[in-house]
């Protein structure tokens, strides 16, 4: 019988345990990804973010939105981005649909962007988007993107 070093046995056991805890990105299923994003979400990391001004945060949020969110959510948040048109992902509801003051707190929005879901909203927290940038996006969506059109939509309905 071949002799196996105890160190190798311990190393293999440790590797197996580590695997259980955190699989490499290629091995993770969609459910693992969601669970991992949920575990990594820490509301405190958002509480400590400070922007010099609201305008600065909105401006940064506008830039990030156009780089990474508009692909699916569309340039104005109507859910008509290129990837939706190409059939890569389901069509998200227009971001104007929500009443951000009533239905969504800033923390809800941080959580949504960081954690994502299994329906096609990516887990931005796992893609290393910083809390600071997620706060900027939250400002942009609530204060600018969704606002302009709310009045318009209300007007059409009445
Ligand atoms: C790959 C496509 C894709 C990208 C890129 C993407 N999203 Fe989404 N997002 C979705 C889909 C699909 C949904 C709807 C899933 C559902 O029905 O829960 C969604 C849902 C949301 C919602 C919830 C809206 C609601 O009313 O329920 C918010 C907020 C949101 N995304 C913000 C963002 C932000 C901010 C970014 C950029 C950092 C972003 N998304 C990038 C696909 C995407």
Do 82 and 127 have their domain in common? yes
Q: Is residue 14 part of a domain?
A: yes
d(CA 37, CA 25): 12
pLDDT band at 16 (very low <50, low <70, confident <90, very high): low
Q: Is 96 or 155 the better-scoring residue by pLDDT?
A: 96
Please tell me the predicted confidence (pLDDT) of residue 98.
85
Q: What is the CATH number of the domain that holds 73?
A: 1.10.760.10
Largest CA distance in the chain: 84
pLDDT in tens, 53-112: 999 999 999 999 999 999 999 999 999 999 999 999 999 999 998 888 888 999 999 999
Q: Is residue 130 part of a domain?
A: yes
- What are 128's two structure tokens? 């290393």
Do 47 and 19 have their domain in common? no
The finding on whether 99 has its CB within 6 A of some atom of ligand 1 is no
Q: Is residue 34 part of a domain?
A: no
The finding on whether 66 has its CB within 6 A of some atom of ligand 1 is no
Q: What is the pTM of this model?
A: 0.82
Comparing CA positions, the residue from 45, 19, 28, 17 lying closest to residue 128 is 45
Taking the CA of residue 137 as reference, the ligand 1 atom at the shortest distance is 35
- What are 90's two structure tokens? 């389901």
Give me the DSSP letters along 45-86: HHHT---S-HHHHHHHHHHHIIIIIHHHH-TTSSS--HHHHT
Cβ 149 vs Cβ 76: under 8 Å: yes
Split into its structural domains, the chain has a count of: 2
Q: Which positions ≥6 away from 123 have C-beta within 8 Å? A: 33, 34, 36, 37, 114, 115, 116
Taking the CA of residue 84 as reference, the ligand 1 atom at the shortest distance is 2
Q: Which positions ≥6 away from 14 have C-beta within 8 Å? A: none
Residue-range definition of the domain harbouring residue 115: 41-157
Q: Is residue 4 part of a domain?
A: yes
The finding on whether 71 has its CB within 6 A of some atom of ligand 1 is yes
Do 49 and 19 have their domain in common? no
Q: Is residue 56 part of a domain?
A: yes
Cβ 37 vs Cβ 115: under 8 Å: yes
Do 47 and 104 have their domain in common? yes
């Amino acid at each position: 019988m071949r002799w196996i070093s105890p160190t190798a046995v311990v190393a293999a056991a440790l590797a197996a345990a580590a695997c259980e805890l955190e699989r490499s990105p290629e091995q993770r299923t969609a459910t693992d990804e969601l669970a991992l994003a949920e575990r990594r979400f820490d509301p405190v990391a958002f509480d400590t973010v400070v922007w010099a001004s609201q305008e600065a945060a909105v401006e940064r949020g506008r830039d990030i939105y156009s780089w990474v969110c508009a692909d699916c959510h569309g340039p104005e948040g109507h859910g008509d981005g290129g990837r939706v048109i190409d059939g890569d992902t389901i069509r998200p509801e227009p971001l104007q649909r929500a009443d951000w003051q009533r239905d969504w707190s800033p923390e809800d929005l941080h959580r949504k962007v960081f954690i994502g879901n299994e329906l096609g909203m990516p887990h931005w927290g796992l893609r290393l988007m910083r809390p600071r940038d997620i706060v900027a996006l939250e400002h942009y969506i609530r204060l600018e993107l969704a606002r302009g059109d709310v009045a318009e939509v209300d007007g059409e309905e009445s």
